[in-house]
Amino acid sequence: MDRTVTTHGERQEWWKLTVELSGPDAAAGRELAELRAENEKLRRTAAGRMVIERALGMVSALVPCTGRRARTLLVDVAQHCDVSLRVVAAALVAGGEGEALPDGMRHELSRALRRFHATERH
């Protein structure tokens, strides 16, 4: 179970936001809260895309293949592992930094690479 640890600064920010939302200019406070939430969502999306692009670069360099073929290969692994492309990419990048790939993902990556090389020969 994933637990979120709240720091003192985060608690202060939460209280500040609560005051903004309940103060005389509540509409502006709600808009500010929505903008902050959207900003955080965009940050998470950008971070996920950066991990995916890094993994695609790794696959393109190691296989070698085009970026499109690398994406197809990683999407194939993600589908067989029933996880998102971002999860596969993060595991691959972590593997490049010395962490072991999960067994199931390593197995599916090997299978995807065999299929890839079989189609390249024909």
- Rounded to a whole number of angstroms, the distance between the first and last alpha carbons of the chain is 46
Q: What is the pLDDT of residue 7?
A: 60
Asked whether residue 2 is domain-assigned, the answer is no
In a domain, 1, yes or no: no
Asked whether residue 68 is domain-assigned, the answer is yes
Answer yes or no: is 3 within a domain.
no
Question: Is position 78 within any domain?
Answer: yes
**DSSP reduced 3-state for 113:** helix
The total domain count for the chain is 1
Which pTM was predicted? Answer: 0.68
Q: Is residue 106 part of a domain?
A: yes
CA distance 68 to 56: 9
**What is the Cα–Cα distance from 51 to 33, expressed in whole angstroms?**
27
For residue 11, the number of C-alpha atoms closer than 13 Å in the C-beta half-sphere is: 4
Give me the domain span that covers residue 32.
8-121
Q: What is the pLDDT of residue 106?
A: 94
- Per-residue pLDDT tens over the stretch 61-107: 999 899 999 999 999 999 999 999 999 999 999 998 899 999 999 99
